[in-house]
């Protein structure tokens, strides 16, 4: 029955909760590592071990469960095939495990573990060193008072073993002298190894790196000596640089790191890999610092080959679109020269490689092939994510995953690859494949290693990619794509449609598994995810067609895609809804204002509704300028013309025409799109008599991703749409 048309509200809610509980059992794999156990000298069979880290929602504890799974398999080096895959033990929960890293020989594993504080005390962090048989060391790193909290995030954080396995590198917050009031009396003498308290600095503003990186201000590089348990902060990093993504240099004599410039002030860094930075090499004694890259590029993910004579990294143009096509660069450690392996692709060939677009902004730890000639990475490719092999010698690109759906590369060892795979009707799986000398056009022969909860969604949900042509009067004529997902109907009843534009705006709606989409489809709704012009994965020229045209080009693209689906006869044309978050909320608000009789109801998560007022409130004021078609300056002050232009592109200019019942969901700790945006929109709707509801989630930031908030938001959105069905 489409969208529970015949169900009373309480029955529909019971069904929605049941569906969410079922789908929440699906776990996703985020990390995996393959190890060679032993080889039979009398055969061509090798025993391999695969460790993988998974995450699953726990609705009873309202948190995400993290756990490790271990599999063993046999690998035939002649036929390049995996067989006899088995999971000899149950998953092991890794709650409060923040980082983990295995040494190069496989003898040791380092774990950073958080231990929650008792009765209001601060959390502790312990650095554990394990052998394969026992706990070797356990260090209370914060008690050593050499630095602040260790960074566990993917932006700065790392846990890197030296080749000798005597040292570990990590990144932590700088330990500052205690700041006190002018009138605070000193209690006893200050220890000689500690700096004296700084009077009058108790209330100094501490500039951090913004959304999801709150309180991360001044990272430092730390070396842990395994032999004598010494913790040492490396000197030599300039004060105006925030260090992260640290790697060991050749012979363990130096470290390589990415350094982001702090001055004149920090801008939001998460989802924004275009901040001014450089790649550096620093000697362990701190006396030699060398800048390896030109500051015209923002770099990330430095990765050495096995010989450590070549260093590859990703590079994007400084400023502009926060996500865009990147370059794969290579630094020759011996010759001290830099070369471009893969450049920006402006206009891809039809169906061809569109360039490198890395949504998650990181390369896998082990991305080089064993021969040292090629690099493997994931990239957005139109409406999917694929794994590609890039030959650094002849600069060719080979697609390893032509099958429909989305793939994420995880690891390689001895030419055996690990990856995660999912699609809109297939929950995540851990996959493996051998990398042959000659790769067929059909890609690699992937085999499933593990899956999570079995949901037979193939029998319940279908999906397809649609091509949409822009309007004839459009300046930029390129076609774009949308993904149409719908429930399998047991009768001729047509489902209502939810139009779902993505955020960004330079992001992408991909064909990977989505809890939200699976739940909504199982509740009877069809979904249209629109990759309007300006999305990732279609070439840099198309991406750059959107800035200065937000509020018009993207709005028209979404509406045209919706009309195309309605014209197909596959959905109920009298029941069309719309939802989106961030820039997707911006588009939702625009569309219900410009087409007030088209959508039955709307739901918005942390929407941008007034670009002009975001400038002084958001951690990314540069976004407001660039998407408005202007250059950002750190000392920019809005003049009347710019203010008017930003305001005219904002959906709030159409609010007086809005009749659509609107649900607004806000994360109270959102620094990217301040909650004041959605609250203002809600209050005006209420004042003018438009039906509206506001949900405000404490301790949630821009994604509203904590389990209790995420589940509440989804059920309330489904309920909102069900309430406003034209039955």
Co-location of 562 and 709 in the same domain = yes
Strands (E), 59-123: 63-76, 81-86, 92-93, 97-102, 109-115
Q: Can you give the pLDDT at residue 38?
A: 74
Co-location of 470 and 577 in the same domain = yes
Co-location of 571 and 667 in the same domain = yes
Q: Can you give the pLDDT at residue 646?
A: 96
Co-location of 521 and 654 in the same domain = yes
**What are the pLDDT digits (tens) for 16-71?**
999 999 999 999 999 999 999 877 667 788 999 999 999 999 999 999 989 999 99
Residue 275 lies inside a defined structural domain of this protein: no
pTM for this predicted structure? 0.94
3-state secondary structure string, 240-279? Answer: CEEEEEEEECHHHCEEEEEEEECCCCCCCCCCCCCCCEEE
Is 474 within 8 Å of 453 (Cβ atoms)? no
CA dist 681 and 692 (Å) reads 10
Residue 437 lies inside a defined structural domain of this protein: no
Co-location of 539 and 660 in the same domain = yes
Q: Can you give the pLDDT at residue 4?
A: 64
* Pure H helices in 265-366: none
Q: Can you give the pLDDT at residue 574?
A: 96
319 - beta bridge partners?
A: none
Co-location of 565 and 680 in the same domain = yes
Q: Is the pLDDT of residue 474 over 90?
A: no
Residue 717 lies inside a defined structural domain of this protein: yes
Co-location of 15 and 163 in the same domain = no
User: Is 582 known to be catalytic?
Assistant: yes
Residue 457 three-state SS:
helix
Residue 509 three-state SS:
coil
Is 611 within 8 Å of 646 (Cβ atoms)? yes
Domain boundary among 216, 248, 280: 248
Of all residues in the chain, the percent with pLDDT exceeding 70 is 98
Is 655 within 8 Å of 664 (Cβ atoms)? no
Co-location of 519 and 658 in the same domain = yes
Task: Provide the pairing of β-strand 447-451 with 461-468.
Answer: unpaired
Co-location of 15 and 150 in the same domain = no
**What are the pLDDT digits (tens) for 111-141?**
999 998 887 788 999 999 999 999 999 999 9
Co-location of 139 and 14 in the same domain = no
Host H or E run for residue 485: strand 480-487
Q: Which of 384, 406, 582, 645 is catalytic?
A: 582
Here the tokens at position 351 are 């169906």
Indicate the Cα dihedral angle 95, 96, 99, 104, nearest 10°. -60
CA dist 111 and 102 (Å) reads 9
* Pure H helices in 371-523: 515-522
DSSP 154-179: TTT--EEE-TTSSEEEEEEE--PPPE
**What are the pLDDT digits (tens) for 226-270?**
999 999 999 999 999 999 999 999 999 999 999 999 999 999 999
Domain boundary among 248, 263, 279: 248
Host H or E run for residue 480: strand 480-487
Q: Which of 554, 557, 619, 670 is catalytic?
A: 670
Residue 580 contacts by C-beta under 8 Å, 6 or more apart in sequence? 500, 501, 502, 503, 586, 587, 588, 604, 605, 607
Q: Is the pLDDT of residue 222 over 80?
A: yes
Instruction: Give the residue among 169, 257, 275 at the shortest CA–CA distance from 213.
Output: 275
CA dist 703 and 271 (Å) reads 12
Q: Which domain holds residue 219?
A: 96-177+207-248
Is 455 within 8 Å of 22 (Cβ atoms)? yes
Task: List the CATH number of the domain containing 540.
Answer: 3.40.50.1820
In the chain, what are the helix, strand and coil shares in percent, each to the nearest 5?
15, 35, 50
Sign for the pseudo-dihedral over CA of 326, 328, 333, 338: negative
Domain boundary among 222, 248, 274: 248
Of all residues in the chain, the percent with pLDDT exceeding 90 is 83
Q: Which of 300, 502, 544, 702 is catalytic?
A: 702
65 - beta bridge partners?
A: 56
Residue 220 lies inside a defined structural domain of this protein: yes
Q: What's the total number of domains in the chain?
A: 2
Co-location of 694 and 590 in the same domain = yes
Residue 335 contacts by C-beta under 8 Å, 6 or more apart in sequence? none
């Amino acid at each position: 029955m489409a969208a529970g048309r015949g169900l009373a509200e309480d029955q529909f809610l019971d069904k929605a909760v049941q569906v969410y509980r079922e789908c929440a059992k699906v776990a996703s794999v985020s990390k995996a590592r393959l190890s060679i156990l032993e080889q039979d000298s009398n055969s061509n069979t090798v025993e391999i071990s695969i460790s993988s880290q998974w995450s699953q929602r726990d609705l009873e504890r309202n948190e995400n469960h993290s756990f490790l799974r271990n599999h063993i398999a046999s690998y035939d080096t002649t036929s390049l095939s995996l067989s006899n895959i088995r999971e000899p033990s149950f998953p092991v929960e890794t709650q409060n495990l923040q980082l983990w890293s295995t040494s190069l020989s496989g003898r040791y594993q380092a774990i950073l573990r958080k231990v929650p504080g008792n009765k209001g005390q601060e959390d502790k962090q312990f650095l554990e060193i394990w052998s394969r048989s026992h706990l070797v060391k356990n260090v209370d790193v914060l008690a050593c008072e050499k630095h602040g909290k260790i960074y566990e995030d993917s932006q700065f954080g790392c846990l890197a073993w030296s080749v000798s396995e005597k040292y570990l590198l990590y990144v932590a917050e700088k330990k500052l002298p205690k700041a006190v009031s002018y009138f605070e009396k000193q209690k006893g003498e200050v220890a000689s190894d500690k700096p004296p308290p700084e009077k009058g600095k108790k209330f100094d503003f501490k500039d951090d790196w913004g959304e999801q990186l709150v309180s991360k201000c001044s990272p430092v590089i730390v070396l842990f000596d395994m032999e004598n348990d010494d913790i040492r902060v490396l000197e030599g990093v300039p004060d105006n640089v925030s260090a992260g993504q640290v790697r060991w240099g050749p012979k363990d004599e130096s470290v390589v790191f990415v350094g982001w410039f702090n001055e004149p002030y920090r801008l939001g860094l998460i989802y924004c890999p275009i901040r001014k930075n450089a790649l550096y090499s620093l000697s362990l004694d701190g006396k030699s610092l060398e800048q390896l890259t030109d500051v015209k590029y923002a770099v990330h993910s430095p990765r050495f080959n096995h010989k450590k004579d070549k260093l590859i990294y990703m590079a994007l143009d400084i400023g502009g679109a926060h996500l865009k096509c990147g370059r794969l660069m290579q630094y020759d450690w011996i010759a001290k020269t830099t070369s471009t392996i893969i450049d920006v692709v402006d206009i891809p060939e039809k169906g061809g490689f569109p360039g490198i677009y890395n949504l998650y902004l990181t390369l896998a730890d082990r991305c080089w092939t064993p021969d040292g000639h090629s690099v493997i990475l994931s990239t957005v490719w139109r409406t999917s994510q694929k794994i590609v092999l890039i030959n650094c010698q002849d600069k060719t690109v080979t697609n390893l995953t032509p099958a429909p759906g989305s793939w994420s590369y995880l690891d390689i060892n001895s030419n055996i690859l690990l990856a995660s795979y999912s699609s809109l009707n297939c929950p995540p799986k851990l996959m493996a494949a051998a990398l042959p000398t000659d790769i067929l056009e059909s890609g690699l022969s992937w085999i499933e290693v593990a899956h999570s909860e079995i949901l037979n969604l193939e029998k319940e949900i279908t999906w397809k990619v649609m091509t949409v042509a822009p309007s004839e009067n459009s300046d930029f004529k390129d076609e774009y794509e949308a993904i149409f997902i719908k429930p399998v109907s047991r009768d001729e009843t047509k489902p209502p449609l939810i139009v779902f534009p993505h955020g960004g705006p330079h992001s992408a709606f991909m064909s990977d598994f989505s809890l939200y989409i699976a739940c909504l489809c199982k509740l009877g709704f069809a979904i249209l995810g629109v990759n309007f012009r300006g999305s990732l994965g279609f070439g840099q020229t198309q991406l750059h067609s959107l800035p200065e045209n937000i509020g018009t080009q993207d709005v028209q693209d979404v509406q045209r895609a919706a009309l195309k689906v309605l014209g197909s006869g596959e959905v109920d044309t009298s029941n069309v809804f719309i939802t989106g978050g961030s820039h997707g909320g911006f588009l939702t608000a625009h569309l219900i204002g410009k087409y007030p009789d088209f959508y039955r109801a709307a739901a918005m998560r942390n929407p941008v509704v007034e670009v002009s007022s975001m400038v002084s409130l958001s951690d990314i004021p540069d976004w407001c300028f660039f998407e408005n078609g202007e250059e950002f300056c750190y000392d920019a002050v809005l003049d009347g013309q710019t203010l008017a232009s930003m305001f005219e592109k904002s959906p709030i200019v159409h609010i007086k025409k809005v009749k659509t019942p609107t649900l607004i969901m806000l994360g109270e700790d959102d620094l990217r799109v301040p909650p004041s945006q959605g609250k203002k929109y809600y209050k005006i709707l209420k004042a003018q008599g438009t039906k509206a509801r506001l949900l405000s989630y404490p301790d949630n930031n821009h994604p509203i991703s904590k389990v209790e908030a995420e589940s509440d938001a989804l059920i309330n959105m489904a309920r909102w749409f069900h309430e406003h069905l034209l039955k």
